[in-house]
Amino acid sequence: MKQEMSSVDIKYIVEELKTLEGARVDKIYQDKNRVRIKLHTTGEGRNDLIIEAGKRIHLTTYIKEAPQHPSSFTMLLRKYLSGSRVEKIEQHDFDRIVKLKIGNYTLIAELFQKGNIILVDENNVIISAMRYEEFKDRTIKPQHVYLLPPARENPVDILWENFRELISSQDVEIVRALARKLNMGGLYAEEILLRAGIEKTKRANALDENELKVIFEKIKEVFNAPKKANIIYKNDNPIDVVPIELKWYESYKKKFFTTFSEALDEYFGKILLESAKIERTKKLQNKKRQLEATLRKQEEMINGFKNQIQENQEIGDLIYTNFAFIENLLKELSKAVEKLGWKEFKERVENGKKSGNKIAQIIKNIDAKEKAVTIELDGKKVKLYLNKSVGENAEIYYEKAKKAKHKLEGAQKAHKETLKKIKEIEKLIEEEEKKELSVRKLEKRKKKWFEKFRWFLSSEGFLIIAGKDATTNEIVVKRYMSENDLYCHADIYGAPHVVIKDGKKAGEKTLFEACQFAVSMSRAWKEGLYSGDAYWTDPNQVTKKAPSGEYLGKGAFMVYGKRNWMHGLPVKLAVGIVQYEEEKLPMCGPVEAVKAHTDKYIIIRPGRMKKSEFAKKLAKILERCGYKVDLDELMQILPPGNSEIVEVIE
């Protein structure tokens, strides 16, 4: 089963991850050797990039609960990278190294061997690393210049002459030469030779020029193959995940994905889920195993005590059953020992066995020290003490049976207690398994086109959209405003551009709500104002043409001509779940607009609670109303700045 990404995998994933260039670093988390970077991409919203040292890098929807106390490395990464934008993502040569240029710093993901994650400054000097190490040719420690491992040939860019010279000089199997010298790994070396129709065990230096040319062509074919990400299954178990379709896996079951990130996330995410399940109950499972081992020993002891009771009871009964015989035997043997002494007695018994004496033959052992003989009686060995009566000999076995019975009762009691403890542990395991995993999968629904902006549905059913920043403000006006719409703007610097779609058909209520939305989604909210002014106008009056001698930056527009003003608009909104095209969406808009589309909503206004904490509070209230809302979706729709709840309508 695949455990880490290859250089080929990294080539393909880096091509995909380039879409993250321009994204803003929101938050950084670390769990053991995994770093997750929460990014915000304009127009898309949240993306989570996972980097697992020595293993993988891709976008993920499997989110592991962050530790309560962030590590010093996490805090340092947050300090240097939070709020900065991802400027460049690249693979170093064809190695398992990815560089992420973020602001003035570079985060280096080493995905080979044990791996590492290293932060360097603009001069390539190490600021910090997940793990400090020293090698023969480089040192990973603060204040040291970061040195890359020695580079190897890149199979994507290698020229024919260099390829021929390199491979022809290798006195090893061709599959090994390709895997090692061209840094492509065993799987892709096998794939290339399979496509080339050349035996993989053939010596590299024994190949003729035509064979080398075929291999060279197949290298270019494989590494320029169209992306067709898929997970490979064997007996319904995933064994590999690859960015292209391979001939090597032709007969295997496959599942295809739109992006390589999705395939990697599905593959490694399931591994993470399984490890989270094991980790969650690991201590309890270990305790259960210990108790089960104790239980087995107790069961062995119980069976042993039962056998002792039965055996000793049977021998005691056997002695009484053969009372007369044993009584006479004890008398005769006692006389013989008294007359001959133990040494000569033993000799006589041995001679008697040879001569076929029946009494001598039933004697199996003589113990002079204990003054006892062991005889065989009805297939059982019975030890008889010559200085004790028949009853006293029988009582010895009955006493042994009693002691074994007492021990049995103790063992059975301990066994019962162990069983009880196992059941308690099993109950705890069951309860733990019912709890939410520390790893959860973000179910990212396909968003509506307007959800990349601020938006709401007016009480009359008109769609109103607004920009979130300079980029989306530019897009709202240039791309999404048409001649049938209406334009709104608040009388405050930095307010969003608001567009009422098909607004020329809208009534007074929609115009009022759109203008109120423009004020509430402006800096007025952040500054804690309770009212503001806004206006609406025709789209033809909105232009990028600046007055003479002036320049309009990104997201800025000029409005010429008559403005239809509305004064003293309340800075107040509501949050609720509304139905739109058979889908339930979280919406933040003017109170009357939200009220028109749902009977459960929360009225909010500027306050003191931080936006992140406020979103959590709203999520709990909505969940109580029967709606499970993603926290990030709530964060996206809320106004800028701190808030407070005015009223909850349930």
Summarised one tens digit per residue, pLDDT across range 167-177 is 999 999 999 99
Q: What are phi and psi of 102, to 5 degrees?
A: -125, 110
Each as own residue / partner, the long-range contacts of residues 160-163 (CB below 8 Å, 24 or more positions apart, any chain) are: 160/213, 160/216, 163/212, 163/216, 163/219
Domain definitions of the chain by residue range? 7-140, 160-260, 284-444, 449-649
CATH class assigned to 160-260:
mainly alpha
pLDDT in tens, 347-362: 999 998 888 888 888 9
How many other β-carbons are positioned within 10 Å of the β-carbon of residue 520? 28
* pLDDT, tens only, 445-482: 778 889 989 999 999 999 999 999 888 999 999 999 99
Listed ranges 431-445, 534-548, 562-576; the one with the highest mean pLDDT: 562-576
Smallest CA-to-CA distance from 502 within 547, 539, 544 is with 539
- In angstroms, rounded to a whole number, what is the distance separating the alpha carbons of residues 172 and 169? 9
pLDDT bucket at 443, cuts 50 / 70 / 90:
low
Q: Which of 541, 584, 582 lies closest to 563 in space, CA to CA?
A: 541
State how far the Cα of 30 lies from the Cα of 68, in Å rounded to an integer: 11
Rg (C-alpha) for the chain, rounded Å, is 41
The phi and psi torsions of 91 (rounded to 5 degrees) equal -95, 135
Q: Would you state the pLDDT for residue 438?
A: 55
For 291-347, the three-class secondary structure string (H helix, E strand, C coil) is HHHHHHHHHHHHHHHHHHHHHHHHHHHHHHHCHHHHHHHHHHHHHHHHHHHHHHHHH
CB 418 within 8 A of CB 298: yes
Query: Within its chain, how far is the Cα of 480 from the centroid?
Result: 39
Res 510 pLDDT > 60 = yes
**Domain 7-140: what homologous superfamily?**
ibrinogen binding protein from staphylococcus aureus domain (2.30.310.10)
When the pLDDT of each residue in the chain is averaged and rounded to a whole number, the result is 91
Q: Which residue has the higher pLDDT, 282 or 576?
A: 576
Q: Report pLDDT for 153.
A: 79
pLDDT > 90? residue 508: yes
pLDDT in tens, 209-224: 999 999 999 999 998 8
| Closest-CA residue to 34 (of 272, 344, 232, 203) | 272
pLDDT at residue 307, rounded to an integer: 95
Helix axes of 7-17 and 260-321: crossing angle, nearest 10 degrees: 130
401: helix, coil or strand?
helix
CA distance 225 to 155: 13
pLDDT digits (tens, 9 = 90+) for 57-110: 999 988 877 777 889 999 999 999 999 999 999 999 888 999 999 999 999 999
Q: Decide: helix, strand or coil at residue 397.
A: helix
Q: d(Cα 92, Cα 532) in Å, to the nearest integer?
A: 53
pLDDT exceeds 80 at position 42: no
Q: Which helix (H) or strand (E) holds 406?
A: helix 390-434
> pTM score, two decimals?
0.64
